[in-house]
């Protein structure tokens, strides 16, 4: 009789352990759907509510930037003195551009030194036009920062360095270039690292909230670094996958074997 009671208790314990193991596995693998949904209206405001995004940002030329400068005038031959290419939309090698030196200057034929550091592309182009009027008839200038780029790291499908041709890009657009976040990316703590020339800024953006549109990090600046940290589920997977999984399967197999014997 005692043996029968002991076997019954053993079977009950084995079954209880299996049930607890299954429940624990389910809880470990569950991640709230809200963690994946972008632009949620957490305050239950009208869906047509306006979110004021700062659209005034314009890229500022800095030292060590590389500028693409295309000069045109009534005389097509005159542009050859200034242009690396006959195509105004040429975006080839960085070598085919004007480097802003440590003093904030670019060196151009005839014009000589032109101070551009601290100016927008439009302001620098206007300044160059005034200089060129001494040598060309009705000159026009197309100028842009060739090395405007952002770096995207962490839990995205295609991390890397991305060049931006029009000197303007938003955080969602940049993440779109990188193929969006992986399922392991933490959408609530997207870090933007920005160099303001004096110190590094570290901003946190929550992609699951519509308030991100009002964030000062919604519009990215040149050389911004975006880092997507992994959620805890990814950390557990990476750190313990090879250690825990074999033990887990071995334990389950042993339990099933014992269960079958006791049964």
Specify whether 223 is located in the same domain as 177.
Answer: yes
What is d(CA 192, CA 171) in angstroms, rounded to the nearest whole number?
9
Q: Which long-range contacts (CB under 8 A, 24 or more apart) does 235-242 make?
A: 236/28, 237/184
Would you state the pLDDT for residue 75? 79
What is d(CA 61, CA 57) in angstroms, rounded to the nearest whole number?
13
Structure tokens at 108: 């151009």
Specify whether 212 is located in the same domain as 107.
Answer: no
Specify whether 44 is located in the same domain as 84.
Answer: no
Would you state the pLDDT for residue 66? 93
Structure tokens at 7: 């076997």
Domain extent at residue 164: 35-57+148-230
Q: Which long-range contacts (CB under 8 A, 24 or more apart) does 18-23 make?
A: 18/252, 18/255, 18/259, 21/252
Specify whether 11 is located in the same domain as 53.
Answer: no
Q: Cα angle at 177 between 172 and 180, to 5 degrees?
A: 65
Per-residue pLDDT of the chain (263 residues; tens, 9 = 90+): 555 444 454 554 545 544 444 444 444 445 555 666 887 876 656 566 566 677 778 899 999 999 999 998 887 777 777 887 666 666 554 556 899 999 999 999 888 999 999 999 999 999 999 999 988 889 999 999 999 999 999 999 999 999 998 899 999 999 999 999 999 999 999 999 998 878 899 999 999 999 999 999 999 999 999 999 998 865 555 555 555 556 566 666 667 666 666 66
For position 126, which CATH number holds? 3.30.1950.10
From 145, 173, 205, the end of a domain falls on 145
From 145, 162, 184, the end of a domain falls on 145
Would you state the pLDDT for residue 87? 60
Per the structure, how many domains does the chain have?
3
Q: What's the pTM?
A: 0.69
Specify whether 72 is located in the same domain as 195.
Answer: no
């Amino acid at each position: 009789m005692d043996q029968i009671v002991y076997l019954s208790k053993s079977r009950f314990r084995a079954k209880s352990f299996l049930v607890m193991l299954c429940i624990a596995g389910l809880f470990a693998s569950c991640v709230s759907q809200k963690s994946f949904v972008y632009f949620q209206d957490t305050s239950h405001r009208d869906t047509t509510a306006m979110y004021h995004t700062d659209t005034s940002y314009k890229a500022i030329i800095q030292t060590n930037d590389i500028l693409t400068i295309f000069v045109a005038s009534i005389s097509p031959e005159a542009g050859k003195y200034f242009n690396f290419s006959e195509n105004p939309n040429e975006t080839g090698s960085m070598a085919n551009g004007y480097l802003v030196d440590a003093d904030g200057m670019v060196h151009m034929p005839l014009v000589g030194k032109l101070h551009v550091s601290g100016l927008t592309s439009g302001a620098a182009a206007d300044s160059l036009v005034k200089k060129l009027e001494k040598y060309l008839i009705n000159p026009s200038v197309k100028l842009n920062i060739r090395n405007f780029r952002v770096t995207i790291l962490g839990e995205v499908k295609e991390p890397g360095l991305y060049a931006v041709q029009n000197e303007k890009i938003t955080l969602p657009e940049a993440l779109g270039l990188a193929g969006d976040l992986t399922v392991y990316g933490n959408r609530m703590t997207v870090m933007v690292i920005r160099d303001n020339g004096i110190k590094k800024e570290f901003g946190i953006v929550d992609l699951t909230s519509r308030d991100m549109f009002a964030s000062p990090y919604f519009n990215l600046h040149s050389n911004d670094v975006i880092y997507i940290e992994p959620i805890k589920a990814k950390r557990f997977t990476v750190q313990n996958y090879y250690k825990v999984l074999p033990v887990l399967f071995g334990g389950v197999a042993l339990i099933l074997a014992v269960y079958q014997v006791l049964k």
